[in-house]
Amino acid sequence: MQRIESGIGQMEQVMKEKAWEIVKQFYAELSRLPKSKRILDILSEEELRHLQAHQAQNLQRLASLQPEEYGEHEAIALNVGRIHAIVGLDRDELANGRSILMEVIYQLVKDDVSLEAMAVYSQRLSQDLAYQLKAYQNLADSQQSILLEITKTAWSAQNYTDLIQQAVKILANHYDIGVCAIGRPDEKGVFHFEHVESNLNKVALNVISSFDPPPVVHADDPSGQGPTGRAWRSGKIERVLNFKTQKSPHDIQAMELGLRSCAAIPLRSPDQPMSFAVLLLFSIYPGGFIGKLQETFINLIQSVLGSAIARLKIEDNYTPVVSLLDRQHISALLHSDALQFHYQPILDLRSGSVTKVEALARLMNDDQILTPDIFLAALSPDDFLEMYVRGLNRALLDRQRWLERGIDLDVSLNLPPAAMNDFRYLEATRNALTIHECCPKRLTLEMLENESLALCDNQQTLLSQFKSLGVLLAQDDLGSGHSGLTRLRTLPFDGIKIDRGIVKTPDGAKDIGNARDALRFAYQLTRLGHSLGKWVVVEGIENPEMLEAMMILGVDAVQGYTVAKPMPADQLPAWVNAHSGAPFILALDGVLPRLAKSIIREERLSIVQLYRQNARKAASDRPNLAAPST
């Protein structure tokens, strides 16, 4: 035992003298191996010297290792193995390199230490290798866990914003990813980072999201030569292996954050040729995720997120590009007093009076009023819930105040598709009805259901629970391409709202053919709704002729600028009083009312003709019972 300890002491002294020589010869041998050479060539001279210095220190530490330091040794070896895996050194190459290292050590120290000391040192090197290989397995296990989370997100995400926020957050928590970002170019080809997450520091979020100049996707622009632009154009994964040695736009800004490499991953639906977005993974180590584990990992991430884009039909229902800074700003506005609600009257065509108003969200951005078509694309699921809860309570409170002034109006409010997967919406609705002592039938919830989110049994059960509260349910934007006829038949809707696009005629009554088609379409949808026992509202009525045409076609109610624009709650009582008893529907003799009447006549004539045809056919099919002549 004393002899072995004495030999180890000799090894410790020899390593102090020869560790640097061993490392230099070892790296000279490694440079002859293709895979190892590829990694070494990525490094700058400074990084290579730093790596060699760490290798020399590790050799000396193994020679002087004491029993009480075994735990520390394992932690250090696991970290070194993790770095080897991250920079792209394969397991086989690591094991092969360790054999080369042992041979170099033996040749340089065999005359200075005993065989027993060499045996002990060899065992320590083998244990060090075992720890490093364990790190590879840990990395693979972590990647598998990340993939499972990403896959779950891909199938549960409710919209594009939900998808990118969850996916980027999951990836940024992976220990070999320093920063994760995702974005798309705008119509000018300027790339905007829509969400960024980092496990480094918050500074990285702001720097990455506001690269100056911003990346572009044009090949003829220097800012388009980075990995983002190349990935967008090629549809392939593009890398920067080392920002220090591979010139790239924004390399200085990346290095200031401690980032050394990145991979740009284009995302698209499997059936689409063009990229839809680019996911960027930044690492604090060189290598650009080129190892076998990393390549497999990011290829699977690309496939899963591409499938999520296809499931959500994001490419068909294009979501506007909203930068991370704009998303953060809009979210902050939403959670402040900047969130307000305006009310648009809905005219009952049977009584000729306004009996209901729809609550519409607005965001006050300084002196600018932001409408939903501007800010909805930036909202997360929690933002949608916040908007719904505040909107519902605000609308029911305003209704109470109007009632105190003798104005009795029903209230309608949009129910986000996310409500079909989130029980909190149901509880919020139940609580609001109780707090404001509102009769449930005075509240209508309008649901726009995206085609990609077909209601499963659990979702239909949740929708039925809304119905059990006693509120009215309406299918919004029927005919827009989002709301389907199957749901109209199978789900418990009380009414439907026909999308404004159905009755929109760009040239008004000048284009008789287009106007006739629009009216005929609205008429058939109205008949369909009535045949299913549902009331029908048409949105987007912007001229008096169209309003009267809707009345002729049997529509129950209309909504649009011809009736009134959305207005703040405190302006509504004065508007109602000013229009009380005033006729909205005039006996107009315009083109659209005449077309509506002609459609009704054509429908009645076709019914009469069909009846006569059936009668003649029935008569001809009767047997001739007359007596034969003699």
Of residues 505 and 531, more confidently modeled: 531
**How many domains does the chain divide into?**
3
Which has the minimum average pLDDT: 208-212, 574-578, 586-590? Answer: 586-590
Condensed to tens digits (0 to 9), the pLDDT of residues 405-423 reads 999 999 999 998 888 888 8
Q: Is residue 544 part of a domain?
A: yes
279 in helix, strand or coil? strand
pLDDT per residue as tens digits for the range 150-179:
999 999 888 888 999 999 999 998 878 889
State which of 143, 178, 198 marks the end of a domain.
143
Looking at the fold, whether 482 and 598 belong to one and the same domain comes out as yes
CATH code for position 215: 3.30.450.40
pLDDT at 584: 64
Model confidence pTM above 0.75: yes
Which one-letter DSSP state was computed for residue 195?
E
Tell me how far apart the alpha carbons of residues 233 and 219 are, in angstroms, rounded to a whole number: 8
Closest CA to 190 of 323, 96, 377: 323
Domain assignment present for 465: yes
- On the 0-12 / 13-18 / 19+ scale of CB atoms within 10 A, 218 is middle
- Going across the sheet that includes 238-240, the strands are 191-198, 179-185, 277-283, 261-267, 238-240
Q: Do 218 and 307 belong to one domain?
A: yes
Closest by CA position to 494, among listed 436, 527, 464, 535: 535
C-alpha 481/C-alpha 250 separation (Å) is 42
End-to-end CA distance of the chain, in Å? 139
Pair 136, 166 in one domain:
no
* pLDDT score at 403: 95
Residues 105 and 229 in one domain: no
The verdict on residue 411 lying in a domain is: yes
Q: Which of 154, 159, 36, 165 is nearest to 101 (CA)?
A: 36
Query: Do 307 and 329 reside in the same domain of the chain?
Result: no
pLDDT confidence of 3, banded at 50, 70, 90? very low
Q: Do 257 and 359 lie in a common domain?
A: no
Statement to judge: residues 371 and 480 lie in one domain: yes
Give the H or E element holding residue 229.
helix 227-234
Better pLDDT: 181 or 462: 181
What pLDDT digit, counting tens, does each position of 238-278 carry? 999 999 888 888 888 888 888 899 999 999 988 888 889 99
pLDDT band at 65 (very low <50, low <70, confident <90, very high): confident
Q: 114 lies in which domain range? A: 2-143
Phi, psi of 274 (to 5 degrees): -100, 150
User: Which one of 280, 312, 344 terminates a domain?
Assistant: 312
150 occurs within a structural domain: no
For residues 256 and 283, membership in a common domain is answered with: yes
Looking up residue 343, the CATH number of its domain turns out to be 3.20.20.450
Which of 80, 108, 143 is the last residue in one of the domains? 143
CATH number at residue 110: 1.10.490.10
pLDDT at 1: 45
Flag whether 505 is in a domain: yes
* Residue pLDDT, tens place only, 563-583: 999 999 999 999 998 887 666
Place of tokens 């800012």: 223
In a domain? residue 299: yes
Question: What's the confidence (pLDDT) of residue 72?
Answer: 86
Pairing of strands 238-240, 353-365: unpaired
Looking at the domain assignment, is residue 222 inside a domain? yes
d(CA 172, CA 167): 9
CB atoms within 10 A of CB 270: 9
- Contact partners, residue 111, CB within 8 Å, separation at least 6: none
φ/ψ of 290, rounded to 5, equals -100, -5
Looking at the structure, do residues 300 and 349 belong to the same domain, yes or no?
Answer: no
Containing 185, the helix (H) or strand (E) segment is: strand 179-185
Question: 210 and 339 share a domain?
Answer: no
CA distance 24 to 20: 6
- Is the same domain home to 219 and 115? no
Q: What share of the chain is helix, strand, coil (3-state, %, to 5)?
A: 55, 15, 30
| Beta strands per DSSP E along 313-458 | 339-348, 353-365, 368-370, 410-415, 443-447
Average pLDDT of every residue of the chain? 86
- Whether 272 and 162 map to the same domain: the answer is yes
The verdict on residue 526 lying in a domain is yes
